[in-house]
Structure 1
């Protein structure tokens, strides 16, 4: 196996993690920034640290990505499939970041891997795609929406007699905790996704055997790149989530972040399912906002975001397939 191809593929995987950091990490802190619970720089620094910590909390999601979606391809063709899948994911990430659309980096990665595997005539585990990707893709935002609504209802009932100004001040402080929990969940989910890809590259390159534990240097590299990307910021997406869906106050921000973090921990530890941070926090914000009044949520923006969810996987798959054909033509 060409060592150069292995190094390039791992480098591209780490760059994907970097784009994931500034693309998706904004989702974890947007509500705290929009309610002024945290300044943008403080929020980004906190999210970077918590993303780093979250990356070391488990490996179930990484195992799902490396073994559960496509059969690990072999040889030079296998490395081309992995490389093309990453190119498809990065391209879609950059397009949606440019336009400020909070699409899912996770589903861009999954779409890229599946598209490249199909183009390279490699086996796709469709049962794994259905159980670990499609079903969670549909269920997680529904759970986020419903749970966000009920969490906010409970908060409104508990603090119904509280002084509004004191309550908001208290929830601003509480949001530093909920935002940290959200960022920790993002590290737990998204750093592991890239770990799974790097492990797959190492298996293809003959450096690791399938089923081996994730090397420590892989965990550190993926976590560090996610944290660097986080600190680079994602201002366009932060604006969409923090302001354009609904004007949030601190209690609403706390409810949305707590809901989203709970869903992510459950998916990671109980089901090893790689879900989308974007889907969960967006739907939680909409659920929380609906308690004020249904019309308070700007459903036009929400509709565009939901449309992006269903475009992401096919679009990334298409770019990945095209990338595979180009790379195969040039080097195959």
Structure 2
């Protein structure tokens, strides 16, 4: 196996993690910044640290990515498939970041893997794609919407007799905890996705066995790159989540973040399902906002975001397939 190809593929995987950080970091902290619970700089620093910590909490999601979606390709061709999958995901991440659309980095990666695998003649494990990706893709936003609504209703009932100003001050403080939970969940979910890709590259290179533990250096590298990307910030997407869907107050921000974090932890630990941070927090914000009144949610913006959800996987798959074609033509 060409060592250079392995190094390049791992480097591109870490590059994807970096784009994931600045693309999806806004998901964890947008509500806290928009409610002024945290300053942008403090929020980014906190998110970077918690992303780093979250990466070490498990490896079930990484196993799903490395073993459950496509058959592990072999040889130089296999490394080319992984490379093309990552290029497709990165390009789609950059496009959606530029336009401020909070599409899912996770589904860009999964779409890239499927598109490159199909182009390269590698088997796609469609049952795994359906059970671990497609069903959670539809189910997690629905759960986020319902749970966000119910959590906010519960908060409104519990604090119905509280002084509004004191309650808002208290929830502004509480948001530092809920935002930290979101960032921890982001690290738990998204760092592991890249770990899975790096492990697959090591298996192709015959450096690791498919059942080996994830090397510590892989965890550290993926976690650090995600944290660096997070600290680089995601201001365009932060504005979309924090302001354009609905104007949030601290209790609403706390409810949305608590909902999102709970769903991400449950999905990772109970089902090893790599769900989208973007899908969960966006739908939670919509559910929370609907308690105010349904018209308070700017459903036109929400519609554009949902459209982004549906086109991300096929779009990334197409870019990855074209990338594989280019790699094949250039390097045979």
Secondary structure of 1:117 counterpart: helix
Tell me the residue number matched to 1:183: 183
Tell me the residue number matched to 1:146: 146
Tell me the residue number matched to 1:315: 315
Aligned ranges for residues 1-332 of structure 1 at < 5 Å? 1-332=1-332
CA distance in 2, matches of 1:203, 1:246: 46
TM-aligned CA deviation for residue 57 of structure 1: 0.2
Secondary structure of 1:147 counterpart: helix
CA distance in 1, matches of 2:330, 2:179: 46
Using the size of structure 2 for normalisation, the TM-score is 1.00
TM-aligned CA deviation for residue 163 of structure 1: 0.5
CA distance in 1, matches of 2:211, 2:245: 42
CA distance in 1, matches of 2:13, 2:25: 17
CA distance in 1, matches of 2:100, 2:80: 30
Give structure 1 stretches of 5+ with no counterpart. Answer: none
CA distance in 1, matches of 2:25, 2:204: 30
CA distance in 2, matches of 1:330, 1:39: 47
Where in structure 1 do 4 or more consecutive aligned residues deviate above 6 Å? none
Query: Cα deviations across residues 44-76 of structure 1 (Å, max 9, x unaligned)?
Result: 000000000000000000000000000000000
TM-aligned CA deviation for residue 25 of structure 1: 1.1
Query: Cα deviations across residues 69-123 of structure 1 (Å, max 9, x unaligned)?
Result: 0000000000000000000000000000000000000000000000000000000
Give the CA RMSD over aligned residues.
0.3
TM-aligned CA deviation for residue 211 of structure 1: 1.1
TM-aligned CA deviation for residue 20 of structure 1: 0.1
Query: Cα deviations across residues 185-224 of structure 1 (Å, max 9, x unaligned)?
Result: 0000000000000000000111111111000000000000
CA distance in 1, matches of 2:326, 2:9: 16
Give structure 2 stretches of 5+ with no counterpart. Answer: none
CA distance in 2, matches of 1:166, 1:70: 52
CA distance in 1, matches of 2:5, 2:121: 20
CA distance in 1, matches of 2:209, 2:263: 32
Question: How many residues matched?
Answer: 332
